[in-house]
Structure formats: structure tokens, C-alpha cells
Structure 1
Amino acid sequence: MTCASCVGRVERKLGKIDGVEASVNLPLERATVTAPEGVSDAELIAAVEKAGYTARVREDPHARPAVTTAPTPGAEPTADAGAMEDAGHAGGPAGSSTGHHAARGDRPGHADHDHVNHLEHGPREDVLRPRLIGAALLSLPVLLISMVPALQFPHWGWAALALSAPVVFWAAWPFHSAAVRAGRHGSSTMDTLVSVGVLVSWGYSAIELLLDPGMTAHVGGGMAAMMHHSLYFETAAVITTFLLLGRWLEARAKREAGAALRALLDLGAAQATLLPGWDSADAGDGPSGARLAERVVPAEQVNPGDVVVVRPGEKVPSDAVVLEGTSAVDASLLTGESVPVEVGPGDEVTGATLNTSGRLIARVTRTGADTTLAQMGRLVSDAQTGKARVARLADRISAVFVPVVLALAVLTFAVWLLVTGGDVAPALRAGVAVLVIACPCALGLATPVGLLAGTGRASQLGILIRGPEVLEDTRTVDTLVLDKTGTVTEGRMRLAAVRPVSVGEAEASPDASVRGTGAPGAAAHPAEDRVLALAAAVETGSEHPIARAIVDGARERGLDLAAVQDFASTPGGGVTGVVEGRRVAVGRGSVVDDALGGPIPAEHAEAFAAAESAGATAVWVAVDGRLAGIVSVTDTVKPSSAAAIARLKDLGLRPLLVTGDNAAVAAQVGAAVGIAPEDVVAGVRPEDKVDVVRRLQAEGRVVAMVGDGVNDAPALAAADMGIAMGSGTDVAREAAQITVLGDDLDQVVQALELSRRTLAIIRMNLFWAFAYNVLGIPIAALGLLNPMIAGGAMAASSVLVVLNSLRLTRYGR
């Protein structure tokens, strides 16, 4: 495919099949198709062939498992829809890309090399280069002898014919062959305009020379006479050279635009070191696994549950959880954050990140298409394949553009014949200029190349944008709702205090709930440790930052935690479970009220309020229906949050802080980061966060929600735009339109800025592509534009669109 007309033709042919929807991407040469169950692959491929192309259905290596939500009746779920790829024009002419379309994923989550080959549309660089060099070497002497009288010699016209013929029929062959195929199927493309313009210029000149072989037998006459001669061999040759140069520069620039995605997909480790039988190793005899035979295997052979060892300087082969060892892991290639992250037992590590220091033993949790890297590749690829709503106008115009230009060229030729009294030379110049100045190629490239550059740069910064429509949504967002924990604050809370109230029967038999290891502090505060051990035991089943702080605090005190049974979690409320026969509830609000069978006694509520007024987050602990104690944890504001919120305000956004934490803590955090007191909403449950979003929407606000936890997912889904922090849960990321893989609020600002900038570039591309044709065609029709200049301008328009898009690759550098 070479231009927007190609895209429109394929989409129309596919769309004529009942129930089929197709979106074709020009640079990727890929159609994403949603079809009813009764439509076969063969029917889809036949429709593409009717448009003048061949195609094949490929399995997406980054596809997710089948969706569980009910699809539209009679249609396949879009998450499972295959991707149809153009395999070049029928017949495989020079410049087509047939023969290298076997879809494969060489390693789990690694580069889909078939996808990479489709970052260029039309003839590739290696096909264009020899044609461009040959055309340039032959066109230069043709131009000189045709336009400079001092260089002319007797019968120079025949030399111009001989030199220009290879340019017209060999170098320009990709244009001619594409035009013929389009015509065979009753349609036309930009290649039709080019082919007709070049052949008419050369053919008219050849006929004139054959009818009057001696027309160039004499030399002299000066430049004035030369401007009106009827030989246009140089026009045909130079137009071809300019357009080939434009295609070649365009192919190089688009390759650079897609480099970010290729680099992302190539990040993964090539091999992994397995430790078979690690679980059976004697942990007390030196480092675990020290006596086990290591086995090096290709990374694609790693399965969930395998134990791997990652030495300093090696990449983590797949998503895993650390079992043993501590190290600093460099995740900058995925998250965009340059500071390595300290990890230890229990921490998750992402495949393709670099282990910089210590030796790690980790258990693989996800492989293949389920890994974070593969999901990133899928999201970036999907975003680049989609179409922004603003691009639909270009599609509608391109559907009729080429036939209109052909009609205008014929009309221009006819009018000039009438005006000049039958003088063919000026009529021919004007008609050919109209043909070659028109450039639907720029229209076709305006959106997808902008998406290639913008989403590719975003992926380098650790930002994943789900689709082009998200870019347009960012322009209208005026309110940003921020979850506090893990978004504005560190989210890595630490245990601050444990205040026992009453542990009932636990006081009579402390060993029933606490088994200390003799660590400092374990015996010094037995009542605190009993409460903490019970709370931590039940919190082991939760992912909430408060839960992690309680569990980590218990382990730091050397407490062994019993297994929890009958675990239940209430988002925003707390957790319950049975620990060694005791019913334990940890949380606030209804969870504890239900466990106690009534409200909290007033005398204990005062102690709870005192803990919170000091800036801590407190939760109740109830055991067997009796109040056992209060556990307090503290969090700190991220160093970058205040500056990031200031930048959000500069973007014209109103930030709100929404948290389930108490009012005192929320007010302190809001003041620290520069959020107005009236924009701090505290003590809300997950459903209340949704109510906050909907209340703002009812006021006419366009709301973006930023969060990272399971309890944020409903609000992320309810907001006009959801932005998930990558340190959060999979549920939060699935509910969001934008995911930032780091845990820094500054990346949220970058996501919004880059999204808006990408949309601005796309709009600029479309404007100039339209303006170019609106201005250029009338100038050419008036005879004010030499066809050679028109050809150069046409080539330049496509290159400029691509170069303008490449400005996005410099964002944030």
C-alpha cells in the first residue's frame, strides 16, 4: 500500500461483507478486522484481493486470552480478532513486501519480526535505493542538456530520450505496476497520478520527436526559446527522481519512528539459568541452590513456576518473584526511571529488567504473552494500529481524491487548449503539474506516523497509551482525581505503632497466636506482638499498602505468622479471616463494626482519633468479636509530587486528592503538594471514589482518574480517562486507558503532555496535507507551476509530514 487511497479501498472492500469492520494502518500494512462468526478467513482474504492486494491472517503474538465479557451478538470479541496483514500487491511486483510474512514470536514477549518489517509501507529502502541512484545518475544529464542551451549538441533530443527511458520504465516501475493493478480493479491511487503524469510527459515528447526527428538538429536560441520547446523528457525523469527520493527518505524516517517499538520488543533476555529442584534444597546448608546443577535454556523454554538464578549484569528472563537474595534492579528501559530499584525476597521483578548487583533466585510467575513486556508490546502495537477520530476525515476525502484529481487534470488540459487556441505544450504542462502536485500520500501518513513516533517515545518513557482515541481525550480533560496512597505518596507504608486494647483469650495462651523468634523487641512488648501477629497473619492475603506495612512490621519484629483461612477482603473497608481458630478482622468502618456486632466504644474511639490526628493512618484489630487493638502506619509524600502537581496546574488541570485515609492525614498531604483544602476528599470508600468522579462529571467536568490499586479500578473505569500507576495491580491497569510503568507522578504529567503533543502533531500534519493540496492544485491548474517543481514539492510533502512527526521522538530529552 502506498497512500490513503489504498487504505480506503481495502477498508471499503472488507466493509462490504455483512457485519465486518476493518481498520487499516498504512505504515504497518496491517488491518485489524472484527467479523461475525460465520465469516471465514478466506472471505476476508478474497475481499482484500478484490482491492488489488494479497493478505494473510496472522496470530498476534501479544494477544491476550479470550475475554470473558459477553460480546456483541453474532460477533467475535475484539480482543480475539485476528490481524490481517497486506502481503504486497497481487503478483508480487518489484517493491512489494511479499515473502516475509510468517508471523512468529522468537522468544516470549520478544520482537515479532514480521511486525517489524511492516514499519515501512510501499517499496522498502533496499528496493528504492538502486532505483533512486540509477534515476539520479541518468536524470542529471537529461536535465542539463534539456535546460542549458550551452550544453546542447546536434540531435540532443535523441540522447535525452535514450537517457530518460530507463528512468521512466525501470526506476518508475513501482509506480506504474501499482497504477495498473489499481486500474484493473476499477480504482486509482496516488501511484496512478504519478504514473500518468510521467508517462504522458515522456510519451508526448517521444511522439513529437518521432514525428519531427530533426527538431533538435540545431542548437542555440537561448533560455527563452528553451522554455517553450515541446520535449519534456527532463520533466518525466526529474519527477521520477524526486518521488523516489521522497519515498526513500520517507522510508528511512518511518523506520526511525518505529525504532522505539522495535527496541521495546527486543529488550527481553535471550536465555535463562534454571535451578531444578530448588525447593528440595537444604536452605540451612549455605545459600539455597548452591549444590544444585544449573541449566541454561533459551528464555522461551521457561515456564511459570520454574526457579531461575539471575546474576549481576544479567537480564531477568521473565516476570518473577524473588525467593532469595537482594539486589538493585535497573528497570529504566521499561519504566523510564533511571534510579535502580532495591528488591529482596517477596518482591516482584519484571522480565527484561537488568540485575545490577546481587545474585537473585526467583520463581517465574508469567511467561510469553502474559509478561509485562509482551503486554507493553501489545498495547503499543494496538495504539499504533488504531485510528484517531480526527483521521476519519482524511479517509473520507482520500476515497474520492484521486478520481477528482484525474478529472481536474483532464479539465485543466482541455481549458488550456481552448484558451491557447490548441497549443498543446502549455496545456500539457498544466495538466501534468496538476497530476503530480496532488499528494494523498501525505494524508495517509499524517496520523499513523504521528502515532508511531508518539507512542514509541511514550514506551521509552514507561508510558503505555491504549489507543489513538485516548490522545484526543487528553485534550478535553480538565480535572484530575488523584488517589493518595502509592500515587501522591510513596505507598510504602511503615509500621508506626501498635496499641493493645484487649486480646481476650489470647492473653491466657499467648503461644496460640504468637511464636517469636527471639528477635529484639519480640519479648519486650508481648501484648503488642500478640495483636500485631494476629493482624499481620490475616493481612498476608491482602495487596493493600497498609497490609504490606503491617506484615513487614511483624516480620521485622521476628514474629512467625500463622496461616489464614476463610480470608475475605472488602475494598476500602478491611480484611477478615480465621487465624488458628480465631476470627480476626482488621480495618475500619463496617468491617470492624460487623465483627464487633456494634459501634466502637467511645473511649477507644478517642485513642483512634489521637493516632490519626498525629498524621498516621490507623486501623482497628478485632479478635473473636472483641476489640483487640489499634495499629498505626505512616506514609511519606513522594519528592516529585509537589512539582508534578504544579505542572498539572500549568496544563490547565484542576487536581483533586481523594483517599480512604482520615481527614487529618489527607489535609497534611494536600498541603504538602499544593492541593487546595476544598479539593481534598478524605475517608472515602471505593464506591465513594466513583461517586466523586460522577459528581464532577455531572458538573460538566471531563475527569481523569489516577490510581494504582484494586480499590481504584471502579473509579478508573468510571472516569472519562483512567491512568494507572505501573506499581499497582493488574486490575487497575486493565481499567485504565493510560498506564505509567513507574511509580512517579511526574510520569503522569509526561503522559498527558506527550499525548497532547502527539495529537497536536497529527492535527498539524493533517492541516498541512490538506492545505498543500488546496493551494497547490489551483496554482498548477493556472500554469504557474513547472511539473518538475510540482514533483519535488509532492515528494517533499510526505517527507515533511514524517519529519514533523519525528519531533516527538525528542520529547523529554
Structure 2
Amino acid sequence: MQQVVKKVFPVLGMSCASCAISVETMLDAVDGVESASVNYASNQVMVIYDEKLVQPNKLKTVIQSIGYDLLIDNNTNSSMNEEATEIEFKKLKIQTLLAFIFTVPIVLIGMVFMHVPNANWIMLLLSIPVVFYFGRRFFINAFKLARYGKANMDTLVALSTLTAFLYSAFTTVYPSFWISRGLPVHVYFEATTVIIVFILLGKLLEERAKSNTSSALKKLIQLQPNTVSIIENGFEKEIPTVDVVIGNLISVKPGEKIAVDGKITEGTSFVDESMITGEYTAVEKMKGSDVFAGTINQKGHFIFVAEKVGSETILGKIIQLVQEAQGSKAKVQRIADKVAGIFVPVVISIAFISFLIWWIAGANDAFSHAVLAFVTVLIIACPCALGLATPTAMMVGIGKGAENNILIKNADSLETGYKVNAVVIDKTGTLTEGRPIVTNVLWDNSVDDKLYYTKILWALESKSEHPLAEAVLNHFNNEKTNINQSLSNFESITGRGIMAIWNNQKWMVGNKKMIEEMDLSISNFLLQQANSWQSSAQTVVYFANQEQVLAIIAISDTIRPSAYEAVKMLHNMGIEVFMLTGDNCATANAVAKTLGIQHFESEVLPQQKASFIQNLQQKGKVVAMIGDGINDSQALAIADLGIAMGSGTDIAIDVAKITLITKDLKALPNALKLSEKTVKIIKQNLFWAFVYNVIGIPVAAGVLYPINGYLLNPMIAGAAMAFSSVSVVVNSLRLKSVNL
């Protein structure tokens, strides 16, 4: 039996989009791997594989064989991945700085002081460490890939710089070869070294900019403390959070972050759970209350037992969700990857053709021009900008969503959002709070001691098992009493209400049918108000003694404060809004009217919700469905974009592609707005990446030379290539400042 798992591993050493293709291809070829998806922007690979057939060590060995490395000890609770990336960054920084120091005198000699004695020999000696030491990564990686018949940006850089260096070195050692043939003597040491410096610098800036795109994930990881205080044999001791196991007793002091999920066994406090709920009001916690990793204890002290640790905590699952989303690929990215995959061989072919055309058809200095065109084409055609265009924007977009309580499961869902033109919203638990509360209480004018009667009402409801009884108990919580212990002849009448005897009198709480059947009197004042509440879709509960109705209580599932504004925002975006509910028509009509929703369906079964969405899709609508319950799961799966409320059931959240971990419904239009902004950035990135290569390659090959005598300098090509990659990343980072 297969044991298929999905894991995200950091990859070290990738320098371009075609590097990512190489890593992906090698992993896909491993027996037992179902699929591998490399995200160059995040330097991660998401691998789906059978644990029985392949282990992470084998994946690591395969990747190392082509010059890269795989971090298989990927633990979100540690900073190992970040440390490895930082070490790599520091190494690159040092190499870039030293390469620059060696290159400055080469450029000065080659372009200003070219007539100094032994100028070529000085430049040759200075360029050797730049090419073969500081730039050795390009040659090593190119060689390893060549063994497997593959090529990437390192191949382009290695071929171009090695060609220019060998040509220049030959000219320095044996200048008479060209002089005897009447050809001028040119060397390109400055171009060779500047190319390497520019590419190293571009890579350095790119890595620094890319690290900013995952800032949201870093913030999530930092929500969990590094150490915790556990209690053993009555004493506290501090241990790393990663060592916590289920069953540990953990002590949490005022102001500390909670490390894992669990249940309080001792003490009370208030906890800031805004990272989960989006609500900034601290939640009261006491014995038996659940606490969650990443939340912050306020002033109290308590002890809780660990029930979920590591990736099983709510915070761990959120981190995993964001990681997988940032590692996933959108459809447009997969197209760009295919282009990047075939791009390098095509470019190498164009470079060789350019070389041959210049050498054969060129006039004076044909061979030098041929070498120059060959080197420049290889440099300027690097597909880095193309490879970064989509994933960087996706990463920033997904991170921006996480910062705004919008958890996006994969890149496809972020790409789909901007196309949505119809939103179907479940009523209960989505547009409404999902729990009944008392909205009004009205006493008969004959009641003089309301406190006395309220205690009797509380006592009756404390015996009831009806869902609405809890709403009444919560409302009158301050009137708790022990009268309930003295109640006798308690009776629950199905579909009507409850009744009991106390102090030799009969008391009852129930619906209108119960009051009518008991033939109890009710004042016109109460009757009119009851009818008014019912017409506004509120449930009316009657409290009476054996003679008359003493009070009426209005109970309803209140509309979320942000629902009206959210619906208005959707309408302003040109999106049709539909409401579906299993509730009765009167209630549905009242809610829809209040929120300005023109289309609604009431008394809808789960399968009917799915059919409703299919009908909209058949009419050409791109449909987003938002819900919170198990009954919404089928509709969420069928919709083009399923969105779950974070307070909903696990099944709904699992099925949905986006989860809103806030009660603020404005996160719904904000998610669609984020999609629109992200796709816009992607289109801009792809446009400039393609334009850069479409214009750059012909110019590098020398098409302008017959017109105006211009032949692109390899140094300028290297700078342009580096700038194109950085500009794509910087453009993507603009999403961080978008107001949602």
C-alpha cells in the first residue's frame, strides 16, 4: 500500500529559472516520486512521493549530483533553513565584493590606461581569480549539468566568459597570430570580469529582494516561542519548543507566547487570539479552555496540557498552508517554466549561429566581432526575469494575504480570484454569526418584580436541552439561581416548550403554539410586538405562568457587522451576489433585504447548493462560494473558487482553496482584489521579461551593426541582464504596499 506524502524542501544553489527546471526534472525521474514542483522565487521544491519507495536522503543525493543541495531537515520550528540561506547569501556577498575589487583595476587598464607596459599581462593575472575562483560556481554547475545533457543560466555564463577569457589569453600570449594576418589585437578581460561581477551583483540583489517576499511566512514562524517552561515532578524547567511532546504540562506567565495547542488545567487569564480570529478583544480562559500556539497570554498565569505539537497545531497548519501555497505554481507560471526550459538550448544555438555568420560574412575584424556577438547573446538572453516574473508576484501576494487574515492554499486559487463575477454566500455562520442570541426582552406591564421572574426563567431554561435555551441563559447570566434545584414535574413538550412546578405554581417557556394550546392570556401590547419581531425573522419565546404571558423574548442569529459593507464592496466590483440558506423564506428574505442582496434561495439542501452553483457556471459565470459548514463542502468543492470561514468546520476548510481567518467579511472582497492586483503585476512582469529578451537578443547578435555600426558591449549586456531580474522582483514587491 502506498504511503504518499507531500513535503516542501528548501533548495540551495539555484541561480535561474532553468536551474529550477533541472531540479524539477531530476526529482520527477526518481522512482517513487509522483510530482515535483520547484519555485525558484522561494528556493523551494514541493515533492509528492511514496515514503515506502523513496526517502528524503535519496532526493538530496540526486540534487547534489547536478550541483545543488536539498535541505531535508526542514522544520518550521527552527531557523535552520533561514540560517542556511543567510550563510549562502554572506558567501555570495564576499565573492561579489572581492570580484569587484579585482575587476576595478582591470576596467581602468582596459579602458583608460591601456598603453601602460604589459597591460594585457596585468589584466590576465588579475582576471584569473575573478573568472576561476569568484566565478567558479558557474563552471562547476555547468559541468555537472552537462553530464546529464542539460543546460541553464550557468551554462550561458560559463560559455560566454570562458570564450572571452580564452580568446583574450591567447591574444596576450601569442599576439603575433593576429598581427601576422593583419588583424587588430583586442582583449576582453574587462568585459569578462565585469560580466561576472554584474551577474554576481544581480544575484546578490535578487536574493536580498526575494527574501523580502517571504516575510509573512517568517512572521508566522516567529509567532511561536523558541523555548517553553514545562512542569516535571512539581518543578519548572525550560526546554526547546521542538522538544515538547503531547501530555507535557506547560506553564505560561503573563506576556508570554503560547507554544503549542492544549487545554488549561489550572489558572485563569485573558489571551490575545487575534492571529487566529482576527478579533483584538482578549478571550477569557479558565480551566478546560482551549489555547492555541502563537497566541499571547495577557496578565494571568496558567498551566495547560499539550494536546497538539509541531505541524499539528493550528499555527503549524497555517505555516504549512502558506509554505505549500508559496511553493505551488499558477498556470501562467507553468507556461513560463516551459519557455524557460527550452530557452537556454535555443539561445546557445542563436549564439553559435551569430558567431558563424559574423565569422563567415564579416569584413574587417570578423573574428573579434564573432566572439563579441557570441558572448553578448549568451549573457543578455538569461531567462532569469522570465522565471521570476510569476513566482515572485505569487509569493508576495500570498504573503500579503496571510498578513490580512486571508490564507491562500495554492497559486491557482490566487490566479482565479480576479476572474470571479458571481459570489454565492451561505447565510448561517457566514453572513450571520452562526449562533442565536437574545436581541430583545419585553415584560408585560403587570410585572413589577422583574428580577424575581427572571430568576424563575433562568431556572427553567437551565433544565432545557433546546439550542435556544443557551441563548437565554447567556443573556441572563447574572441572574443565576439555585431555584432550578427546587423545580418539580419538569416536562419537555416536543415542538412546544418546557414547563415545571415551583412554589406550587406552574411555569412555562415555549412558542406561540404552546401559549395558544394552554389558552393563556396575552396583552395586546405583547402580542403586537411579538408579531413585529416575527415579521423581521426573529424567533419569539414566550415566558408565562399558569395564567398569563409574563414576557416575550426575541432571539435571532445576528448579522455580522461587516456583512453589509462586504456585500456593497462586491457590488461595486461588478460582482453579482447570491445568498443560499437552509433557513425559512421569511428569515432569508429579511437578511437579504437588510444586506441589499437581490438574489437568494431559502430552504436549500446541501446538494441543491452544489446544483445552484453548477447552473451559474453553465451560464458562463466564474463562481466563488463562501461557507463554513459541512453542508457547504460539496458546493465549495464544485465552485471555481471555494472560500471557507476560519471559524467553520475542518471539512469546509480542507475543501476550500482560500480560508478567511477573521470574522470580518470584508476579507472576501479583499481576497478578490488581491488576486486582481497580483495578476496585474504578473502580466507586467511577463511583458517586460519577454520584451527584454525579444529586443535584447537581436541587438546582441548585431542586427543594428549594418544600420548604425552599433554592436552591444558584453559589459552592458551583463548589466542589463542583472537589472531585468532585479526589476521584476522589485515590481512584485510593490504588492506589499497595496491597501486592501
- Which residue of 2 is the match for residue 7 of structure 1? 20
Offset, 1:434: 0.6
Offset, 1:448: 2.6
Choose from 307, 321, 335 the match for 1:379: 321
Offset, 1:374: 0.2
Give the match's secondary structure for 1:390: helix
- Which residue of 2 is the match for residue 812 of structure 1? 739
Offset, 1:178: 0.8
Partners of 1:525 and 1:330 in 2: how far apart?
Answer: 34
| Conserved? CA contact 1:725–1:741, under 8 Å | yes
**CA 1:714/1:498 → structure 2, altered by over 3 Å: closer, same or farther?**
farther
Q: Which string of whole-angstrom CA distances, capped at 9 and with x for unpartnered residues, describes residues 142-188 of structure 1? A: 11221226x74233222222222221111211111111111122221
**CA 1:177/1:809 → structure 2, altered by over 3 Å: closer, same or farther?**
same
| Conserved? CA contact 1:119–1:254, under 8 Å | no
| Conserved? CA contact 2:249–2:303, under 8 Å | yes
Equivalences for residues 119-138 of structure 1 within 5 A: 124-138=88-102
- Which residue of 2 is the match for residue 262 of structure 1? 218
- Which residue of 2 is the match for residue 329 of structure 1? 271
The amino acid that maps onto 1:12 is T
- Which residue of 1 is the match for residue 547 of structure 2? none
Is 2:134 the counterpart of 1:171? Answer: yes
Partners of 1:324 and 1:652 in 2: how far apart?
Answer: 53
- Which residue of 1 is the match for residue 357 of structure 2? 415
Choose from 54, 66, 73 the match for 2:61: 54
The amino acid that maps onto 1:239 is I
| Conserved? CA contact 1:612–1:662, under 8 Å | no
Partners of 1:316 and 1:586 in 2: how far apart?
Answer: 46
Partners of 1:310 and 1:402 in 2: how far apart?
Answer: 56
The amino acid that maps onto 1:130 is I
Give the match's secondary structure for 1:471: helix
Stretches of structure 2 lacking an aligned partner (at least 5 in a row): 1-13, 444-448, 498-511, 518-526, 544-550, 706-710
Stretches of structure 1 lacking an aligned partner (at least 5 in a row): 56-85, 217-225, 278-291, 501-519, 540-545, 563-578, 588-598, 622-628
| Conserved? CA contact 2:74–2:81, under 8 Å | no
Offset, 1:308: 5.2
Choose from 802, 806, 811 the match for 2:729: 802
Equivalences for residues 300-315 of structure 1 within 5 A: 300=242, 310-315=252-257
The amino acid that maps onto 1:113 is S
| Conserved? CA contact 1:489–1:638, under 8 Å | yes
Offset, 1:737: 0.9
- Which residue of 2 is the match for residue 395 of structure 1? 337
Offset, 1:532: 2.7
Q: Which string of whole-angstrom CA distances, capped at 9 and with x for unpartnered residues, describes residues 64-104 of structure 1? A: xxxxxxxxxxxxxxxxxxxxxx4x555x7xxx657xx3515
Is 2:166 the counterpart of 1:203? Answer: yes
- Which residue of 2 is the match for residue 751 of structure 1? 671
Equivalences for residues 380-779 of structure 1 within 5 A: 380-421=322-363, 423-491=366-434, 493-496=436-439, 524=453, 528-529=457-458, 532-535=461-464, 537=465, 539=467, 549=471, 552-553=474-475, 555=477, 557-558=479-480, 611-617=533-539, 632-673=554-595, 675-676=596-597, 678-779=598-699
Partners of 2:50 and 2:283 in 1: how far apart?
Answer: 49
| Conserved? CA contact 1:708–1:728, under 8 Å | yes
* TM-score (normalizing by structure 1): 0.74
- Which residue of 2 is the match for residue 318 of structure 1? 260
The amino acid that maps onto 1:265 is I
**CA 1:808/1:327 → structure 2, altered by over 3 Å: closer, same or farther?**
farther
Give the match's secondary structure for 1:739: strand
Structure 1, 135-144 or 451-460: larger mean CA deviation: 451-460
Give the match's secondary structure for 2:331: coil
Give the match's secondary structure for 2:61: strand
Offset, 1:28: 4.4
| Conserved? CA contact 2:375–2:714, under 8 Å | yes
Q: Which string of whole-angstrom CA distances, capped at 9 and with x for unpartnered residues, describes residues 643-677 of structure 1? A: 3322222333212233344444444443443x24x
Structure 1, 686-695 or 399-408: larger mean CA deviation: 686-695
Is 2:295 the counterpart of 1:353? Answer: yes
Give the match's secondary structure for 1:476: coil
The amino acid that maps onto 1:478 is N
Partners of 1:207 and 1:547 in 2: how far apart?
Answer: 94
Is 2:206 the counterpart of 1:250? Answer: yes
Q: Which string of whole-angstrom CA distances, capped at 9 and with x for unpartnered residues, describes residues 371-404 of structure 1? A: 1100001101111111111112122222221111
Q: Which string of whole-angstrom CA distances, capped at 9 and with x for unpartnered residues, describes residues 706-763 of structure 1? A: 2233443333233222211222332322221111111101222222222332233233
The amino acid that maps onto 1:805 is S
Choose from 103, 118, 140 the match for 2:104: 140
Offset, 1:302: 5.1
Partners of 2:168 and 2:243 in 1: how far apart?
Answer: 65
- Which residue of 2 is the match for residue 591 of structure 1? none
The amino acid that maps onto 2:281 is P
Choose from 188, 200, 214 the match for 2:151: 188
Query: Identity of aligned pairs, percent?
Result: 37
| Conserved? CA contact 1:538–1:584, under 8 Å | no
Equivalences for residues 155-166 of structure 1 within 5 A: 155-166=118-129
Offset, 1:690: 3.4
**CA 1:189/1:747 → structure 2, altered by over 3 Å: closer, same or farther?**
same
Offset, 1:140: 1.7
**CA 1:17/1:466 → structure 2, altered by over 3 Å: closer, same or farther?**
same
Choose from 26, 36, 40 the match for 1:22: 36
Partners of 1:5 and 1:124 in 2: how far apart?
Answer: 20
* TM-score (normalizing by structure 2): 0.80
Q: Which string of whole-angstrom CA distances, capped at 9 and with x for unpartnered residues, describes residues 740-789 of structure 1? A: 11110122222222233223323332332222212211111125321111
Offset, 1:357: 3.9
Offset, 1:464: 1.0
Partners of 2:470 and 2:695 in 1: how far apart?
Answer: 64
How many residues of Structure 1 are paired with residues of Structure 2 in the alignment? 675
C-alpha root-mean-square deviation of aligned residues, in Å?
4.0
| Conserved? CA contact 1:707–1:723, under 8 Å | yes
The amino acid that maps onto 1:799 is V
| Conserved? CA contact 1:439–1:797, under 8 Å | no
Offset, 1:478: 1.1
**CA 1:14/1:315 → structure 2, altered by over 3 Å: closer, same or farther?**
closer
Offset, 1:436: 0.5
Choose from 73, 83, 94 the match for 1:103: 73
**CA 1:190/1:348 → structure 2, altered by over 3 Å: closer, same or farther?**
same
Give the match's secondary structure for 1:329: strand
The amino acid that maps onto 1:633 is I
- Which residue of 2 is the match for residue 32 of structure 1? 46
Structure 1, 738-747 or 15-24: larger mean CA deviation: 15-24
Give the match's secondary structure for 2:37: strand
Q: Which string of whole-angstrom CA distances, capped at 9 and with x for unpartnered residues, describes residues 27-65 of structure 1? A: 4444333346874449x93xx6xxxx835xxxxxxxxxx
Partners of 2:109 and 2:453 in 1: how far apart?
Answer: 101
**CA 1:610/1:786 → structure 2, altered by over 3 Å: closer, same or farther?**
same
| Conserved? CA contact 2:396–2:732, under 8 Å | yes
Offset, 1:686: 4.0
Structure 1, 196-205 or 606-615: larger mean CA deviation: 606-615
- Which residue of 1 is the match for residue 281 of structure 2? 340
